[in-house]
Chains A and B, each alone.
Chain A
Amino acid sequence: MNIVLIFLITIFSVSLFFYGRSKTKSISIEKNIRLNALPKFYGYYLVLWCSIPALVFLLVWSLFEPVIIKSIIIETAANQGAIFNDKNEANLIYEKIKAIHLGTYFGDIDSILKESALAYAKFINLFTNSKVVLIFGIIIASVIYSLKKIKNNNKARDDVEVILKGLLFVSSLIAILTTLGIIFSLLFESIKFFSVINIFDYLFGTNWSPQRAFVRDASSITVAELEELKDAFGFIPLIAGTSFIAFIAMLVAVPIGLFSGIYMAEYASIKVRRISKPIIEILAGIPTVVYGFFAALTVGPFFRQVGENFGLTVSSESALAAGLIMGIMIIPYVSSLSDDVINSVPQSLRDGSYAVGATKSETIKQVVIPAALPGIIGSVLLAVSRAIGETMIVVMAAGLAANLTINPLESTTTITTQIVMILVGDQEFDSPKTQSAFALGLTLFIATLILNYIAQRAVKKYREKYD
């Protein structure tokens, strides 16, 4: 039904566009007046007026219709004598009624359900009919209004401008509201978690074993159980593991990425650059899960083999393997961005340096890189946040055990990996174990936010210095 309505609205709008355009054209010729805008703007004006109010109405209606019908039906079912103790049971009955209406219910149907299903059918019908009537009413009203406007030769171009500005504003508002929504959902779930687990136990605990919290719902935890849980959610091993793997990744990615960026920007001929740049960028296009099994099945065992030859114990899932592969994955972020930044350093600076007799590498080291530094720092920090957020490689190659270690040959884990581990499979949503995932998410979010803030400050500081 909605699709048919949208289709109709579109057809109306398109035909109104042509109508509005030719109408204003003929008016201007007939009465020999100068239009305030090009004829096509009158067309656009009609289109916007015909479609936007109707579509907005349709959207709002579709959002609220199910909610309203549901509350009405549950109430009628209760009046018929249906018994339910809480919200869940009410939901169950509502789903049953819906299924009967759709003909997909195969259980026993008693008279209460039957009556309610009939009522449901009635309401659905009523709502659909009124929706169609209202939409056509709105379309007619807004089209009449806009037609009247264009007959008076309004400034359609300016009006279209205003409407478009509103549309753009709404789009950006949606993005902002979504972000806020995500933050708040993280925040509220985390608050639930921190009402069970002390925030300081979480932030400064050195032991992470959330599986111990596989208990009943959080509200009925006993004091003894709480004592038990106190040291199960220590955040330190996770942040340590995350920073450690990210650090190894940066050790790989920053030098290789930066040097290849410098080569691309300063030394490579146009031909070499044209071929090799896309090839390096392919690295960023490989799905991380492919990197993951490359790390887990090829690199990890290889390190173990090499380690054995030197008499070292290397875990087959090691921070080194994961960090190394992650580093390779983020090379293109560093190289591609720093290449662009270095390219945008004005040639006049290089000329100035050559003119006092500096060689190419002296020029790059002492003039080009310092001038490009803000951008390079930016690209490195982008790579860092990519490394911190990376999940798949670590899940597959670095293990799941939260070891607090600085030995790169041992297995370790990261924040994102733990979130995955906590949330895969069946979950009780009110267990502290599940809620801890939200707390981890929030912490990760705050950490990334701080990192971005520092990055922006650093970049700004260098900018001021050089501009």
Chain B
Amino acid sequence: MNNIKIKSKNLNVYYGDKQALFDVNLDLNEKEVTALIGPSGCGKSTFIRCINRMNDVIDICKVTGNIEMDGMNINDKDLDVVSLRERVGMVFQKPNPFPKSIYDNISYGPKIHGKGETKSELDQIVENSLKKSALWEEVKDRLDEPGTSLSGGQQQRLCIARAISVNPEVILMDEPCSALDPIATAKIEELIDELKKTYTIVIVTHSMAQAVRVSQKTGFFHLGKLIEVGNTEKIFKNPDNKMTQDYITGRFG
């Protein structure tokens, strides 16, 4: 069993008057893939957006309760959000490369944080990130082409490379394969398997099969509540909760 990297205690999230998360207590293990499943609108994405404070972007969003990373309170008002996000990267549902070259897409983060002082250091970071995201071989000869010229699957791997480029500890993935075809999905899943050696990964997914394939631990959300969490194998073979059972067998959701 790995160490606990992120720990949430009685986490509540409100969008205006509407409560989106109810007392979520969830621990995420270091260098492991945790999958979050559940029907649409159940709060999976809201939960992972608490980990890198992306909910700050939404004016009406309010977060209460406790969420810690390595004992540091993420929800602290005085926390430097920028350095938190440097440590917790994120990959979104739809590939969102910047309207810049492939190279600039990746060097963007390191430049902002002052990593890679010289051009050669930066080149190294770009190359490493692309290699880790298994994109290097495909794009090494056209780094100055716009990131938007890549295919959907390549774009998503570019976004993963962008997240890796600042050398985070945690990578959050919000349905990273929902806009991709099966072949691209398979590549991303392979990649996740590889990345978990270095990073703690949380992945939100609508595909049970994907959760089974990539994750060690699975949490099932329903209507803003964490219904059940446990080893992936156990959740899918022998869940404690009737609702989990119904969901994974496709009886609702």
Contacts and interface: CB of A to CB of B under 8 A. Distances in A.
Interface string A366-399: 1100110000000000000000000000000000
A357 B98 contact: no
B82 interface: yes
Given A362-B112, A366-B108, A355 B89 contact: yes
A357 B54 contact: no
Contact of A357 (B92, B96, B112, B148): B112
Nearest to A367: B98
Given A357-B82, A357-B166, A351 B109 contact: no
Most buried by B among A356, A359, A366, A466: A356
Contact of A465 (B89, B113, B146): B146
Interface in A202-221: none
Contacts of B159: 352
B55 to A, nearest CB: 11
Interface in B9-23: none
Nearest to A359: B82
Interface string A339-356: 000000010111111111
B109 A356 contact: yes
Q: What's the interface size class on A, roughly? A: 20 to 34
A358 interface: yes
| Chain A binding surface SS class | helix
Contacts of B98: 349, 352-353, 366-367, 370-371
Contacts of B166: 356-357
A356 B146 contact: no
Contact of B162 (A269, A352, A370, A466): A352
A375 to B, nearest CB: 12
A223 B140 CA distance: 73
A426 interface: no
Nearest to A348: B96
B86 interface: yes
A466 B165 CA distance: 22
B181 to A, nearest CB: 20
B177 interface: no
A110 interface: no
Contacts of A367: 98-99, 108
B57 A356 contact: no
A227 interface: no
A466 B146 contact: yes
Nearest to A345: B99
Contacts of A86: none
A356 B86 contact: yes
A355 B96 CA distance: 11
A351 B108 contact: no
B112 A355 contact: no
A467 interface: yes
Contacts of A465: 99, 146
A356 B92 contact: no
Given A351-B57, A366-B108, A467-B148, A356 B165 contact: yes
Contact of A346 (B54, B83, B96): B96
B85 interface: yes
Contact of A355 (B85, B100, B113): B85
Give me the 9 closest cross-chain CB pairs, A-B, nearest first: A356-B109, A466-B99, A357-B85, A355-B90, A348-B96, A357-B86, A352-B96, A371-B99, A357-B82
Interface of A: 269, 346, 348-359, 362, 366-367, 370-371, 465-467
Given A350-B57, A351-B90, 18 more contacts: A349-B96, A349-B99, A351-B96, A352-B92, A352-B96, A352-B98, A352-B162, A353-B108, A354-B85, A355-B52, A355-B89, A356-B85, A356-B108, A356-B166, A357-B84, A358-B82, A371-B98, A465-B99
21 contacts: A346-B96, A348-B94, A348-B96, A349-B96, A351-B57, A352-B92, A355-B85, A355-B89, A355-B163, A356-B112, A357-B82, A357-B83, A357-B109, A357-B113, A357-B166, A358-B109, A358-B112, A362-B112, A370-B99, A465-B99, A466-B148
